[in-house]
Amino acid sequence: MSPRLAQRHVLITGAGGGIGLAMAEACLAEGARCSLVDRADEAPAAVQAVMRQHPDTVAYIGADITRSADIARLLHTAIGRFGPVHTLVNNAAVFDLAPLLDSDEASFDRLFAVNVKGLFFVMQAVLRHMVEAGTQGASVINLASQAGRRGEALVSHYCATKAAVISYTQSAALAMAPHGIRVNAISPGVVDTPMWAHVDSLFAKAEGLPIGEKKRQVGLAVPLGRMGRPDDLGGACVFLASDEARYITAQTLNVDGGNVMS
């Protein structure tokens, strides 16, 4: 059997490490060519290691998705290297938390600039390209979160941004259905990535906890008994990008160990 993503071009934002890079590795294992986008001008060490393993099928592009010129450049660069994009994995995101009454405008602007504005305009640019190119089997996978399924007292802005991701996924799926382009989302739960050190420290400060205690608590609370790992997301990404999901659109797939039942 041929790999499920053989010769397909997958563009992944927020791919400098963690979930984004794990999804890239899963796609590469299924025959994809991957354009990996992150904020750093030079590829992070973890990306360089993957590039050494796949020198002909991985390219790195440094870009800030909150800037329209960067979005145009990253797409032009990706197409120039690997041809038309078959799947966009819209993964780039930032996190912050604060008590509702203390939350400031700077945090709001930063979270919505990346998690909503950046995600939407990357998606719009790639979808326009897919329509113009007539790419067969084209799809978009947006990264939502269990935080988008409910509010949280300390995480109001982040929850709102991820709820917006789910909403934009549904709207884009309906808009793109006449073109045969599928748009879905993945909703991770708590995933043990390097970012969790930052998240844990924020919760420790806000809730008066020792460092590491919030991480321990959330892992124990997962029905499957542990936090997720980045590679737990790879299978869902490959599935939604492949022809196996050809009749699935406008859906948000929970990959969270049972935290959210919907």
147-161: burial string, b at 16+ Cβ within 10 Å, e else: bbbeeeebbbbbbbb
* Nearest in space to 233 (alpha carbons), one of 3, 5, 21: 21
What pLDDT digit, counting tens, does each position of 187-235 carry? Answer: 999 999 988 888 999 999 999 999 999 999 999 999 999 999 999 999 9
What pLDDT digit, counting tens, does each position of 131-182 carry? Answer: 999 998 999 999 999 999 999 999 999 999 999 999 999 999 999 999 999 9
The residues near 26 (Cβ < 8 Å, ≥ 6 apart) are: 231, 233, 234, 235, 237, 238
For strands 58-62 and 139-143, give the pairing: unpaired
Which residues belong to the active site?
158
Average pLDDT taken over every residue of the chain: 96
* Nearest in space to 123 (alpha carbons), one of 80, 74, 163: 74
| Residue 2 pLDDT class (50, 70, 90 cuts) | confident
pLDDT at 82: 98
Q: Domains in the chain, ordered, with CATH?
A: 9-189+228-253 (3.40.50.720)
pLDDT at 197: 86
pLDDT at 85: 98
Q: In what order do the strands lie in the sheet with 182-188?
A: 58-62, 33-38, 9-13, 87-90, 139-143, 182-188, 252-255
* Nearest in space to 92 (alpha carbons), one of 170, 36, 49, 44: 36
